[in-house]
């Protein structure tokens, strides 16, 4: 009992010491957490500084005056003209293929469907060379273009007129089309070929009416030359 | 010495409390002493702990918040958030020769390797000198700072200094401006000087606030580059331009050339004046639009087919008013405008009379400084006495001098349906407008739009017709005021207008100072040949940027006025380039 009362003071002291130690440890860990936070804060500030610096550098290097100078020296871009704006998808689509090269690659599935429609108008020519032959016959052309031929030919009927007006770029564009019209009856076994030739002749007076062998031969030669050019 | 005393005291207390207890075995004494020592240690620990807590809670927090924000000056941003002025930290290398520890001769050689702008001899002179502080390089690139740091001498100082940077360099220099404390030589006090937004919003920027301007960097760059190109072509000595949003009053671009570079503002003292807000000009025939608007609004011009005889010069009070291209016949109202007849306009103004003329100019704010967030605002030269000649000459922009911004604000009101809105350089929240007041009716404004478009289609402004953008406006040419009189050889050429005319959104005023004619312009140096082409280029470039699509099949209906023109121009004829 006496020992207990005498030791109670020791226990008290030990308890207080333990509590103080705990408090100290807690405050230590809080302090270390705080230090960690401060470090993260510093890192964030530093990163933000760097970001700001990089932004500034990008801003300075890409300043409008500099871009303007590059533009005047290298790119020479100008303000867009009204004709460069399109108001609808239809207008946009109409811009494709202006130079005789249909940039719009048609979906083969639609082409197959549309092929039927064109066959109504061009019954004799389109029927025979439709899907299988073109890949074999006009070698230099892409296979996508070949099945599109019957569909596109309706468009070429309208186009030859502006093509003739522009003399320089017109040559290579008209030639393969006409050549194809004349080729296809010859190379494939399909007989109905003569019909389109006559039609083409009617539509465009440039392809002279007397469909002589000499004219055909000339066109053939021209066509082959064009093809060779295209290959090159 | 204290501890034993304390112990003794402690022991005495204990002894006093426990009377019957024996003085204690040595064991007990030892225990008590130990306990006392432990208590003391705990007390000291507790005090230290409390002090730490105090430091953590109070000193730490206010130390973090205070400095960082005050040090950083706020940014200036354009309307799309692109920084136009920002503050960056730059290193500076300095030396305190008295604190150098290492070998000064070796250090001088190393410094010469790092910063070869000074010779080894120079560095030795500095290092062995008696000064206590000297900048070696300011600002220094980070690599150099790191290299100097690697030398590791305590006498070499690396200072991090904040530096105001304008990333777009000279772009919008007059709008951004600068601000700095300068000592007044008379009072020996520090005084704030400067121009532009930096000066106007100095307090806000100092407090770390960012300012978002209504300026659009792209539009500003386009405007400046087109004006400077045209200045080179026409050998003009100066140029200015401003683009306003007619519905909100926001300034999208404001250019005054030759420009100043706010990164080094004091280098171009001669060009410090802002030609848009500070310089006043007689803006010539562009004022005819204002006179017409006044006349239509006040009922003087009701019939557009009314004719004015302009066959002979007008002699009023010792003053002769004549036309640049005399027509020798009577002109209808639209013809007076398209031929830019001074005689016809003077007659209309004469019918208006001094009171209404004066009142309308006052309504447009032409008798006072233009309200805008800049300190550099010029006072217009507004006539104090309105004689009959004053009324007649101010009608076509002579005898009254205002800033280009005055004119731009007035043209915005003519185009936007008749509301005069003061211009602002601050970006407004979406759908907000600067509060305005009505100066003309919707109907008058609609008529003025027709007139503006007609001038570009058929009148002196055909060179301004940007394809598809429905530009409208009026040219103005005035003789430059040199000294106390007019120069016969130098012109101020102006184009004031708006686009697209079927639904005006932006008003533009451009000015060339002393543009000279060339073979290309058939020797003409009037606004139709000098500034109108500039307007076309600006509009063609800026229109699509601002979301206005050039459309050739869209236009305002001017057939009503077109029918009153006796001679019509062939489209595309006499057009520059």
pLDDT at A151: 44
User: Using a CB-CB distance cutoff of 8 angstroms, which residues of chain B are in contact with residue A31?
Assistant: 52, 56
Nearest to B370 by CA among B467, B244, B497: B244
Could you tell me the two tokens for B528?
């139709």
* Interchain CB distance below 8 Å, B541 and A60: no
How far is Cα B449 from Cα B447, in angstroms, rounded to an integer?
5
Nearest Cα of chain A lies from the Cα of B62 at a distance, in angstroms, of 14
Percent of chain B with pLDDT over 90: 63
> What pLDDT digit, counting tens, does each position of B327-342 carry?
889 999 999 999 999 9
Work out the minimum CA distance from B442 to partner chain A, whole angstroms. Answer: 30
Of A13, A17, A82, the CB nearest to B551: A82
Q: Cα-flanking dihedrals φ and ψ of residue B426, to 5°?
A: -100, 145
What pLDDT sits at residue A172? 43
Structure tokens at A57: 């550098």
Q: Does A69 touch chain B (CB under 8 A)?
A: no
Q: Select the residue of A52, A60, A80 nearest B544 (Cβ to Cβ).
A: A80
Residue in chain A nearest B24 by alpha carbon: A6
φ, ψ dihedrals at B378, nearest 5°: -80, 150
The DSSP result for B535-551, as a single string, is HHHHHHHHHHHTT----
Residues in chain A, total: 232
Q: Dump pLDDT digits (tens) for B68-103.
A: 445 688 999 999 988 899 888 888 999 999 888 888
Q: At what angle do helices B104-114 and B142-151 cross, to 10 degrees?
A: 160
Q: How far is CA B182 from CA A194, B116, B193, B198, in A?
A: 94, 32, 7, 15
For B337, residues 6+ apart whose C-beta sits below 8 A from its C-beta are: B288, B289, B292, B451, B454, B455, B459, B474
Q: What is the pLDDT of residue B573?
A: 59
Q: Which one of B543, B544, B551 makes the best mutation probe of the A interface by having the most chain A beta carbons within 10 Å?
A: B544
CB contact under 8 A, B468 and A24: no
ipTM, interface predicted TM-score of the complex: 0.71
Q: Is B86 within 8 Å of A85 when comparing Cβ atoms?
A: no
pTM: 0.71
Note whether B509 and B407 are within 8 A (CB). Answer: yes
Residues in chain B with CB shorter than 8 Å from the CB of A85 are 544, 549-551
The token pair that represents A175 in the structure block: 């030639």
Chain A residues touching B551 at Cβ < 8 A: 82, 85, 87
Quick check: B459 and B565 in contact, CB under 8 A? no
Length of chain B: 577
**Closest chain B residue to A61, measured at CA:** B167
- A13 vs B: CB within 8 A: yes
> Is B550 in contact with A82 (Cβ distance < 8 A)?
yes
Q: Which of A31, A79, A87 sits opposite B540 (nearest CB)?
A: A79
Of residues B489 and A156, the one with the higher pLDDT is B489
- Whole-number pLDDT of residue A87: 82
pLDDT tens for each residue of chain A, 232 residues long: 666 777 888 889 999 999 999 999 999 999 999 999 999 999 999 998 888 888 888 888 888 888 988 988 888 888 888 888 888 888 777 776 655 555 566 677 777 766 644 444 444 554 444 444 444 344 444 444 444 444 444 444 444 444 444 455 444 444 444 444 444 444 444 444 444 443 443 444 444 444 456 655 666 566 545 444 444 4
Distances (CA, A) of B548 to B468, B541, B551: 10, 10, 9
Buried b (16+ CB within 10 A) or exposed e, B229-253: ebbebbebebbbbbbbbbbbbbbbb
Q: Is the pLDDT of residue B425 over 50?
A: yes
B169 vs A9, A13, A65: nearest CB:
A65
Average pLDDT, chain B: 89
- How far is Cα B133 from Cα B532, in angstroms, rounded to an integer? 58
> Interface of chain B against chain A, CB under 8 Å?
28, 31, 35, 38-39, 42, 45-46, 49, 52-53, 56, 82-83, 86, 88-89, 165, 167-171, 217-218, 220-221, 225, 467-468, 537, 540-541, 544, 549-552
pLDDT tens digits, one per residue of B364-375: 999 999 999 999
What residues form DSSP beta bridges with B478? B492
Q: What is the pLDDT of residues B518-551, one digit of tens each?
A: 888 888 888 999 999 999 999 999 999 999 999 8
Residues of B in contact with A10 (CB under 8 A): 31, 35
Sign of CA pseudo-dihedral B245, B246, B250, B253: positive
d(CA A217, CA B134): 91
The one catalytic residue among B285, B341, B412, B445: B285
| Contact between A6 and B220 using a beta-carbon 8 Å cutoff | no
* Annotation marks residue B285 as catalytic: yes
Give the pLDDT confidence score for residue B575 in this predicted structure. Answer: 63
User: Measured between CA atoms, how close is B137 to chain A, in angstroms?
Assistant: 20
Query: Does the pLDDT of residue B5 top 70, yes or no?
Result: no
B412 pLDDT above the threshold of 80: yes
Cβ neighbours, 10 Å, residue A35: 10
Contact A23 B31 (CB under 8 A): no
| pLDDT reported for residue A99 | 59
Over 80: is that where the pLDDT of B459 sits? yes
Higher-pLDDT residue of B182, B506: B506
Beta carbon pairs, A and B, within 8 Å: 79
Cβ <8 Å between A23 and B537: no
Q: What is the pLDDT of residues B193-221, one digit of tens each?
A: 899 999 999 999 999 899 999 999 999 99
Q: Are strands B211-212 and B76-77 parallel, antiparallel or unpaired?
A: parallel
Asked if A65 has any chain B CB less than 8 Å from its own CB, the reply is yes
For residue B543, the chain A residue with the least C-alpha distance is: A79
For residue A75, the distance in angstroms to the closest alpha carbon of chain B comes to: 16
């Amino acid at each position: 009992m006496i020992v207990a009362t005498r030791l109670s003071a020791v226990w008290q002291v030990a308890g207080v010491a333990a509590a103080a130690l705990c408090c100290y440890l807690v405050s230590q860990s809080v302090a270390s957490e705080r230090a960690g936070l401060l470090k993260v804060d510093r890192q964030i500030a530093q990163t933000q500084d760097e970001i700001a610096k990089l932004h500034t550098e990008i801003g300075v290097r890409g300043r409008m005056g500099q871009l303007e100078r590059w533009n005047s020296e290298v790119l020479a871009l100008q303000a867009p003209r009204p004709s460069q704006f399109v108001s609808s998808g239809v207008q946009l689509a109409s811009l494709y293929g202006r130079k005789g090269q249909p940039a719009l690659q048609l979906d083969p599935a639609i082409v197959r469907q549309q092929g039927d429609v064109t066959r109504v108008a061009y019954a004799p020519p389109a029927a025979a060379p439709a899907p299988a032959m073109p890949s074999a016959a006009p070698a230099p052309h892409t296979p996508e273009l070949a099945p599109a031929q019957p569909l596109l030919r309706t468009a070429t009927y309208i186009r030859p007129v502006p093509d003739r007006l522009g003399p320089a770029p017109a040559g290579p564009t008209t030639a393969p089309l006409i050549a194809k019209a004349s080729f296809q009856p010859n190379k494939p076994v399909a007989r109905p070929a003569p019909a389109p030739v006559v039609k083409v002749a009617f539509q465009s007076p440039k392809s002279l009416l007397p469909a002589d062998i000499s004219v055909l031969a000339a066109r053939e030669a021209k066509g082959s030359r064009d093809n060779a050019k295209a290959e090159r | 010495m204290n501890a034993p005393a304390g112990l003794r005291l402690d022991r005495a207390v204990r002894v006093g409390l426990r009377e019957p207890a024996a003085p204690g075995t040595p064991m007990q004494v030892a225990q008590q002493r130990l306990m006392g020592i432990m208590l003391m240690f705990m007390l000291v620990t507790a005090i230290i702990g409390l002090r730490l807590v105090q430091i953590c809670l109070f000193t730490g927090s206010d130390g973090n918040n205070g400095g960082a924000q005050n040090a950083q000056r706020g940014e200036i941003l354009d309307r799309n958030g692109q920084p136009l002025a920002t503050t960056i930290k730059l290193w500076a290398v300095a030396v305190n020769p008295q604190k150098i520890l290492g070998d000064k001769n070796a250090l001088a050689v190393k410094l010469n390797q790092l910063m070869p702008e000074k010779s080894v001899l120079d560095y030795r002179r500095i290092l062995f000198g008696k000064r206590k502080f000297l900048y070696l390089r300011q600002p220094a690139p980070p690599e150099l700072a790191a290299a100097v740091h690697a030398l590791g001498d305590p006498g070499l100082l690396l200072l991090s200094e904040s530096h105001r940077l304008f990333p777009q360099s000279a772009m919008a220099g007059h709008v951004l401006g600068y601000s700095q404390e300068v000592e007044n030589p008379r009072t020996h006090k520090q005084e704030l000087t400067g121009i532009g937004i930096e000066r106007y919003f100095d307090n806000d920027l100092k407090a770390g606030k960012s300012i978002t301007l209504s300026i659009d960097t792209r539009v500003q760059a386009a405007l400046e580059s087109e004006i400077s190109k045209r200045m080179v072509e026409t050998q003009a000595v100066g140029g200015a331009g401003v683009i306003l949003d007619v519905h909100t009053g926001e300034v999208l671009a404001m250019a005054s050339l030759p420009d100043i570079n706010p990164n080094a503002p004091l280098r171009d003292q001669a060009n410090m004046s802002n030609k848009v807000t500070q310089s006043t000009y007689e803006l010539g025939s562009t004022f005819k639009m204002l006179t017409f608007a006044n006349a239509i609004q006040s009922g003087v011009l009701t019939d557009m087919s009314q004719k004015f005889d302009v066959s002979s010069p007008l002699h009023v009070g010792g003053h002769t008013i004549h036309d640049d291209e005399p027509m020798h016949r009577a002109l209808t109202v639209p013809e007076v405008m398209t031929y830019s007849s001074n005689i016809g306009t003077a007659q209309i103004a004469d019918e208006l009379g001094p009171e209404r003329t004066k009142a309308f100019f006052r309504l447009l704010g032409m008798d006072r400084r233009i309200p805008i967030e800049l300190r550099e605002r010029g006072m217009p030269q507004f006539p104090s006495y309105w004689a009959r000649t004053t009324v007649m000459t101010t009608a076509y922009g002579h005898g009254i001098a205002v800033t280009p911004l005055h004119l731009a604000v007035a043209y915005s009101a003519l185009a936007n349906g008749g509301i005069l809105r003061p211009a602002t350089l601050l970006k407004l929240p979406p759908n907000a407008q600067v509060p305005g007041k009505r100066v003309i009716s919707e109907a008058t404004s609609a008529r003025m739009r027709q007139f503006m478009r007609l001038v570009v289609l058929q009148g002196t402004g055909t060179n301004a017709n940007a394809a598809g953008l429905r530009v409208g406006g009026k040219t103005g040419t005035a003789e430059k005021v040199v000294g106390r009189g007019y120069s016969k050889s130098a012109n101020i050429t102006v184009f004031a207008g708006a686009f697209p005319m079927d639904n005006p959104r932006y008003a533009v005023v451009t000015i060339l100072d002393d543009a000279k004619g060339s073979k290309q312009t058939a020797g003409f140096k009037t606004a139709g040949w000098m500034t109108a082409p500039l307007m076309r280029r600006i509009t063609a470039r800026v229109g699509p940027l601002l979301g206005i699509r050039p459309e050739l099949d869209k236009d305002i209906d001017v057939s009503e006025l077109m029918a009153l023109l006796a001679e019509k121009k062939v489209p595309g004829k006499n057009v520059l380039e």
